[in-house]
Structure 1
Amino acid sequence: MRTVEFAPGITLPAIAQGTWHLGEDPTRRREEVAALRAGIDLGLTVIDTAEMYADGEAERVVAEAIAGRREEVFLVSKVWPTHARRDLVMRAAEGSLARLGTDHLDLYLLHWPTLRVPLEETLDALVTLVRQGKTRAIGVSNFPAAWFRRAQTLLPLDVPLRVDQVPYSPADRRAERDPLPAVREAGALLMGWGPLKFVNQAASPAARAVLETVAVRHGRSWQQVVLNWVTTHPGVQAIAKAANPAHTRANAAATDFELTPGDLAEIEAAFPLPEHGLELETMD
């Protein structure tokens, strides 16, 4: 399986298991748990979740999936910006740990930028969680380069930002302009969320047809081509959700073939690079 560097000496699978919308339908709980367990079996050991997803129910689904297997998993969760105050960050982290049934996270992120709380205050709380052993590393989500760089300057050298989690897809390539260069310069990892969502929502019929053509050429699905394309970019990990084991198996197989230079040129011609990168968007 293709891998990415998370930190010096630490590599992770290039595809992470996403959990957005998991836990919303109790009748699907067993299948969702099975999907996550299948992913662990197949080497998709990074699981990304958040306190916001299904009001915490996604974290409870993850808890069922990783029961007895915590040490096999690289566990990521996120604090919602309404909890960005120091005391609320600490409380939110404890809530996530309780729902996940663990005493520590591997990575904890601020889910969106916020203007309501000084960034210094939120980052100080995240550093405290590292010092307390509640998370092994910290990062941010949906931060443009200017905010990412500023956050790095506010942190101690031994607790850098390890991740910026942003939208990234052939149909949304803004991250290639901003913040990916800044994230790479910092030696951090870009986690791309929504790679399939944006193709479904924004791709033109002609662009989708290009993905289908490349997929047929390799005997794959267009979804696998998209995940493969995302992970061909150095320092980028794709987040892909699966709600059943069959879908998980398809995601896990998405990097076991190589897109040719011709394939990449066709895809990038169909989905041209935009003029502008990611801009500041807050949930305030």
Structure 2
Amino acid sequence: MQTVTINQRVLPAVGLGTWHMGDDPVKTEQEIKALQAGIKAGARAIDTAEMYGNGNAERLVAQAIKPFEREDLFIIDKVLPQNAGRAQLEKSLDRSLKNAGTDYFDLYLLHWRGQIPLAETVAELERVKQAGKIRAWGVSNFDVADLKELFALPNGINCAANEDLYNLDRRGIEYDLLAWQKDHQLPLIAYSPVAQADSLSGRLSNNPTLKKLAAVHHATVYQIMLAWTIRCGNTLTIPQSSNPKHAEQNVVAGEIEFSDAELLKLEQAFPSPKQKQPLATI
């Protein structure tokens, strides 16, 4: 099983995303079972945010984690940029903690940059970390220039992870961001590694190269896509699934390892960027 280390915690490299979950009461029971199936399959990281359904995803997480030991899990939450200042951050954090049924988050991210100065956000994140409400903090949707600015601030170097869009169809961050993060020992959290990727391009699930690799590894195309995102060892990938079987399959994808020849075939089918690209977001 591939692993990633975040804030000195070694985690299975496939976690569980919760975007678009918790909004439909009819699906609640199945979505809880999907998260629990992922945890039982070995996942430890669960990624959510106050933005997802205005707290609905957080409340779903609260129900899903009840049978498990809290210390065994690694729960990631995110604060909206307009709430990431002196006036509001701790209030937002407290609300999210209550929603998610926990008294601390393992990682708390600034969801994206807004109008509040980074220095003010970092100071607040450090303060709530000292208070024990979060164990580490990080950022999301940051590019190299953003991270350089962050690391130049007091305590900016304490950033524990950066969460960005990353999949076979959106490889822009490979041009310079991934290398920068590796040099600074900053893990990547890859969001939308499967589902959104397919809806963006419509060409992934039927790609011949992916189909051949899936057959060789006795896996699904989606498992191949997931395993590719974590191939370098510095990435936590967080696919979302409301289907218990698919959630389990996602986690098992962390056991797939590619040969150099297989990686070359994927490179030929989905070329890495040859120039700097704007940071892809959804």
Tell me the distance in 1 between the aligned counterparts of 2:159 and 2:38. Answer: 26
Secondary structure of the structure 2 residue equivalent to 1:195: coil
Tell me the distance in 2 between the aligned counterparts of 1:88 and 1:222. Answer: 43
Question: Deviation of residue 153 (structure 1)?
Answer: 2.1
Question: Deviation of residue 7 (structure 1)?
Answer: 3.4
Cα deviation, 1:84-107, whole Å, max 9, x if unaligned, reads 222211111011001011111000
Between 198-207 and 44-53, the greater mean CA deviation after superposition: 198-207
Given that 2:170 and 2:280 are in contact with CA atoms closer than 8 Å, whether structure 1 keeps it comes out as no
Secondary structure of the structure 1 residue equivalent to 2:102: coil
Normalised TM-score (structure 1): 0.92
Between 138-147 and 209-218, the greater mean CA deviation after superposition: 209-218
Cα deviation, 1:106-146, whole Å, max 9, x if unaligned, reads 000000112x1111111111111101101000000000011
Given that 2:164 and 2:281 are in contact with CA atoms closer than 8 Å, whether structure 1 keeps it comes out as no
Question: Deviation of residue 80 (structure 1)?
Answer: 0.9
Q: Which residue does 1:32 correspond to in 2?
A: 31
**What amino acid maps onto 2:55 in structure 1?**
G
Secondary structure of the structure 2 residue equivalent to 1:50: coil
Secondary structure of the structure 1 residue equivalent to 2:167: coil
Q: Which residue does 1:105 correspond to in 2?
A: 105
Given that 2:138 and 2:159 are in contact with CA atoms closer than 8 Å, whether structure 1 keeps it comes out as yes
Distance 1:277 1:235, change over 3 A: farther
**What amino acid maps onto 1:195 in structure 2?**
P
Which stretches in structure 1 are left out of the alignment for 5+ residues? none
Question: Deviation of residue 209 (structure 1)?
Answer: 2.2
Given that 2:49 and 2:57 are in contact with CA atoms closer than 8 Å, whether structure 1 keeps it comes out as yes
Q: Please show how residues 1-284 of structure 1 align to structure 2 within 5 Å.
A: 1-8=1-8, 10-69=9-68, 70-114=70-114, 116-156=115-155, 160-196=158-194, 197-202=196-201, 204=203, 208-277=207-276, 279=278
Quote the sequence identity (%).
35
Tell me the distance in 2 between the aligned counterparts of 1:205 and 1:72. Answer: 34
Given that 1:140 and 1:165 are in contact with CA atoms closer than 8 Å, whether structure 2 keeps it comes out as yes
Tell me the distance in 2 between the aligned counterparts of 1:229 and 1:20. Answer: 21
Which stretches in structure 2 are left out of the alignment for 5+ residues? none
- The aligned length equals 280
How big is the alpha-carbon RMSD for the aligned residues of Structure 1 and Structure 2? 2.0
Distance 1:133 1:256, change over 3 A: same
Distance 1:203 1:155, change over 3 A: farther
Cα deviation, 1:10-31, whole Å, max 9, x if unaligned, reads 2111011000000111100011
Tell me the distance in 2 between the aligned counterparts of 1:107 and 1:155. Answer: 19
Tell me the distance in 1 between the aligned counterparts of 2:176 and 2:232. Answer: 14
Tell me the distance in 1 between the aligned counterparts of 2:257 and 2:281. Answer: 37
